[in-house]
Structure 1
Amino acid sequence: MGDFFGGSTRRVRDPVWGYIPVDRPARALMESGALERMKGLHQLGFAHLVFGNARHSRYDHALGVCHLTRLTLQRIVDSGAYLEERDIRCALAAALLLHAGSYPYADALEGLGLPPRRELSRRWIEDSDVARVLEKEWELEPHNVLRLVLPAGEEPVALTPTEHLLRDILAGSLDADSLDNLARDAAAVGVSFLPLKAEALLENLRVVGQENRAVLSVDEEGAGSLQALVFSRYLMEYNVYGHHALRAPTVMFRRAAQDALQGGAVAPEKLARLDDARAFALIRESAKEESPAGALTRLLSERRLYRRAIELDERHPGYGSLLRLREDANWRRRVEEAWARYLTRYRKGEAGPFDILVDIPPQNGLSVGLRFIRRLPVVPGERNLTTWQSLSGLSEEDMLRCSVPLHRIRIFTATEELARSVRRHAEELFTIAEEV
């Protein structure tokens, strides 16, 4: 298995992990249409408007995920776990293709009624040149790779125990996907305060048997690294992913894309196959200049971002009336337009139909499902294989409370004057949101 675990003489220079070994099958996949497209998909969307160096792509991320997957597989095989060569090949191919089904500016387009990501993944893996590469260079059936790429619960046939383990390595509680995300995103935005040490965490990974399953777990010596991972996730969510200056262009583009798609100016099928730059250009060029799509993409091109008017989390009494808008983009737009009409009609402010936008990001939590191996139980009756709650002393409710500051809803406006008007009349606007 030497070639799988770094035996290849070819290396690719990566700014995060150094020199990454790349064998011939990996190079063939890297030259496929799916991976070429990923070079044009920004990992952090519009973050480069705020953090100038945050231009890393999903292609860069795919190489990092593949590298960390290889290190993880090597670690668990060295510690005694048995994996067939086919399993290793399948996991490494899936690591490179994990985000092949991503939309351009995926965070902004979420919830706009586009074909599900699983369908895009299937097309790229089974109906493109990727399928030929997997069959010829990797000696794999494309549908077996797709089973590892699809999110949990969306695979057509239940996973085998080995596939469950490989899925956990790729995108589970402690996975190559999130580890590379944290490290790469932090490096790109210049964050220097993360305590995360990915290599130290991987060094302490083990596989143990539980209920007829091979379960990924962390040895006792990795306790500090596991705690650092959770804290790093919190820091990045609060300081980077949820930064208001990053959310502003995201919500602006979301509204532009929503109007372009629903107005028929842009076809969902065409948008799905483009990279970020081409998708942005398609929406801007297909929209009328005075339309929401035309005006908002022009502002984004000129880096004239909307202002933050209000920011609230679940402790605010108006939070619930806005949170329910998250799953219905049309409902959210009706509320935004109702607010604009109200402020304009009663001379409380001047607002056009897309001058007030609501941003309700995903409700990402901090829960940890990974198991922890304790050599000596610290309480009577505790088993050696225990939970994050036992290790940290934090219950699931504690973790939810820690997540409260991360789940911020924001209202953005086209001008600072309008932002002041929204703040002055916030209670009236929240009442309108409940009635629309």
Structure 2
Amino acid sequence: MSLPETESPREFEVVRDPLWNTIRLDATALRIIDTPEFQRLRQIRQLGLAYLVYPGATHTRFDHALGVYHLARMALGVLGERGELRGVDPVDCRLVPYAALLHDIGHYPFSHALEELGEELVSADHEELAGRFLAADGIRAALQELSPDAPARIAELIRGRSSSPLQGLISGSLDLDKLEYLRRDARFCGVPYGEVDVDRLLNAITLLPDPRTGRVEIGIHEKGLSALESLLFSKYQMFRNVYWHHAVRSATALYKRLVHDALLGGVVTAEELVGQSDERLMTILELRAEGRTDAASRRVAERWIPAVRRRRLPKRAMEVPADDLRGLPGDGWIADPALRDRLEARLAAELGLEEGCVLIDYPEKPRMLGLNLLLLRRAGPVQRLADDAGRAGLHLPRVSDDLYLSARAFRVFTTERREISPDRLFALLALSEADAADRLADAEPLL
């Protein structure tokens, strides 16, 4: 988007977009977009390796960021027309669109997958990394023209730690990120599940005081409840059919194992993962792993990279609904990376597979399935949705939890086709963490 030096600075530019038709970018947004840090987002796919399952899912974080910026300007316009911004710091009002534009600036390659590796391997999530990118010369200079402390204030908005009443537009139960990605992801995956009544929701958002603390925050008017219910079911359908689709989770597990072994073998450091694009990281791993003799690096070069390049996805050996694990101790301790690694190694040995060829997948509940907004009824006090008891409608937080359990599954993938009886593995998952650790040290077969 850079202009020749002979041209005058741009006041605005209009970009055509398949979702929102036209997105008007002001001069500050254009300066941010022209930085190398922001241009990197063109090379990070919004849905990671989902394109191996949904070929159209090659849209990027760049496209999505422009869309969220567009929605932020629309939301501020609605609130401003109703006079609801009079009590809000004018600097916050100016910064919110740029926080929306920059909310994904810290993303790892292939989007969220690397954050699932855990803090022992990858120490920060993309929201925590955002501050580092906001300090880059070009972005910092553009933001500081708005306010000297703009980079710090935007970092707080992105992390969900701002005291601004507008925080909920950037990070919250009804943030603009969700409204944008659901529609964009559905469009490019070619599925009919992500339709959201954005106009209705934007016109229903309002600033409300929390009845317990008095703090003003983003809430919703009762007239938007039907659209909010539709949003919740759209999220459920997208998680069930796209984000947590068995083949998408298989591809994600494969990529996580690739990076896990690359870190284990010293092919790459955790710090070197920051700031890479999708293809650049794959190329770095490919070149560095070649010729190394340690077992982890050899798996990277000989097994995992070819599997990604040729779409050789691990197969399902077992799959059960998350609800079947409810109440079992293993529902909690399976998230312990050390214990999970031991279980994977034990299963590989008993199934006659090489080390690393069993991959357990049990996605954690994402914040994006949470839903506990302040609600303004046509009559009655302001309440949290959780306290509203579903009066004249669904109890949305409870429904959200039920839908989450319905969409989530516990899976075991193997690189060669195998079958695992759930009953045998459930005997282990029924044990406490300490007893499970002892059982894994026992020579008696699990299967």
Q: TM-score, normalised by structure 2?
A: 0.83
Contact preservation (8 Å) 1:171, 1:178: no
Instruction: Give the one of 190, 198, 223 matched to 1:221.
Output: 223
1:343 to 330, 351, 360: 351
| Residue 267 of structure 2: aligned partner | 265
For residues 126-137 of structure 1, the aligned pairs below 5 Å read 126-136=135-145
1:387 and 2:385 correspond: yes
Query: 1:429–1:212: structure 2 CA closer, same or farther, 3 Å change rule?
Result: closer
Would you say the 8 A contact 2:110–2:278 is kept in 1? yes
CA distance in 1, matches of 2:332, 2:102: 33
Instruction: Rate the CA distance shift 1:237–1:75 in 2: closer, same or farther, 3 A.
Output: same
Q: Which amino acid aligns with 1:126?
A: A
Q: 1:93 aligns with which of 94, 98, 119?
A: 98
Partner residue of 1:298? 306
| Aligned residue type for 1:168 | G
Q: Which residue number in structure 2 is paired with residue 202 of structure 1?
A: 202
The match for 1:43 among 38, 41, 46 is: 46
Match of 1:309 among 313, 317, 335: 317
Corresponding residue for residue 157 of structure 2: 148
- How much does 1:398 deviate? 4.7
Q: How do residues 60-79 of structure 1 correspond to structure 2 at under 5 angstroms? A: 60-79=63-82
Are the aligned partners of 1:39 and 1:59 in contact in 2 as well (CA < 8 Å)? yes
Partners of 2:12 and 2:36 in 1: how far apart? 25
What does residue range 386-425 of structure 1 map to in structure 2 within 5 Å?
387=385, 389-391=389-391, 392-394=393-395, 396-416=397-417, 419-420=418-419, 422-423=420-421
Task: Work out which of the residue numbers 113, 123, 126 in structure 1 matches 2:132.
Answer: 123
1:14-41 residue CA offsets vs partner (Å, 9 max, x unmatched):
1111101101110000011221111111
Larger mean Cα displacement after TM superposition, 215-224 or 198-207: 215-224
Whole-angstrom distance in 1 between the partners of 2:390 and 2:425:
44
- Residues in 1 aligned to 2:390 and 2:424: alpha-carbon distance in whole angstroms: 46
Deviations, residues 307-357 of structure 1 (Å, cap 9, x unaligned): 11211123335994654455433432221111111233xxxxxx1112211
Tell me if the contact between 1:194 and 1:235 (Cα under 8 Å) persists in the aligned partners. Answer: yes
Deviations 1:359-415 (A, max 9, x none): 121223744211222213xxxxx5255626435342755542332112211111112
Give the alignment's TM-score, normalised by structure 1. Answer: 0.85
Partner of 2:19: 16
Counterpart of 2:354 in structure 1 is 352
1:432 to partner: Cα distance: 5.8
The answer to whether the 8 Å contact 2:182/2:195 transfers is no
Deviation at 1:247, TM superposition (A): 0.6
Q: Within the alignment, does 1:363 sit opposite 2:368 as a pair?
A: no
Ranges in structure 1 where 5+ consecutive residues have no aligned partner: 1-7, 153-158, 345-350, 377-381
Moved more, 283-292 or 303-312: 283-292
* Matched residue type, 2:373: L
Three-state SS of the structure 1 residue aligned to 2:412 is strand
Q: How far 1:232 moved relative to its partner?
A: 1.0
* 2: CA distance, partners of 1:31 / 1:395: 41
Distance 1:180 1:93, change over 3 A: same
RMSD (Å), alpha carbons: 2.4
Cα gap change, 1:143 to 1:15, in 2 (>3 Å)? same
Query: What SS does the corresponding residue of 1:37 show, helix, strand or coil?
Result: helix
Which sits farther off after the overlay, 169-178 or 320-329? 320-329
Residues paired across the two proteins, number? 404
> Following the alignment from structure 2 to structure 1, what is the Cα–Cα distance between the partners of residues 285 and 22?
38
Say whether the 8 Å CA contact 1:284–1:298 is kept in structure 2.
no
Helix, strand or coil at the partner of 2:313:
coil
Change in Cα spacing, 1:195 to 1:93, as seen in structure 2 (3 Å) is closer
Moved more, 31-40 or 306-315: 306-315
Aligned to 2:169: 169
Q: Which residue of 2 aligns with 1:188?
A: 188
Q: Using the alignment, how far apart are the partners of 1:386 and 1:332 within structure 2?
A: 37
User: Conserved in 1, the CA contact under 8 Å of 2:194 and 2:234?
Assistant: yes
1:104 equivalent to 2:122? Answer no
Q: Distance in 2 between matches of 1:57 and 1:105?
A: 10
Preserved CA contact (<8 Å) 2:208 2:216: yes
Moved over 6 A (4+): none
Contact 2:286/2:305 (8 A) holds in 1: yes
Cross-structure match for 1:5: none
Structure 1 residues 360 and 35: alpha-carbon distance in aligned structure 2, compared to 1, 3 A threshold: same
User: Relative to 1, partners in 2 of residues 1:199 and 1:38: Cα closer, same or farther, differing over 3 Å?
Assistant: same
Report the CA distance between 1:282 and its aligned residue.
Answer: 1.8
SS in 1 for 2:43: coil
Give CA deviations for 1:39-93 in whole Å, capped at 9, x if unaligned: 1111101111111111111111111111111111111111121244422221111
**Identity %, equivalent residues:** 28
CA deviation profile, 1:158-216 (whole Å, cap 9, x unmatched): x43xx1x2220112111101111111111111122444211221012222233432222
Residue 33 (structure 2) pairs with residue 30 (structure 1): yes
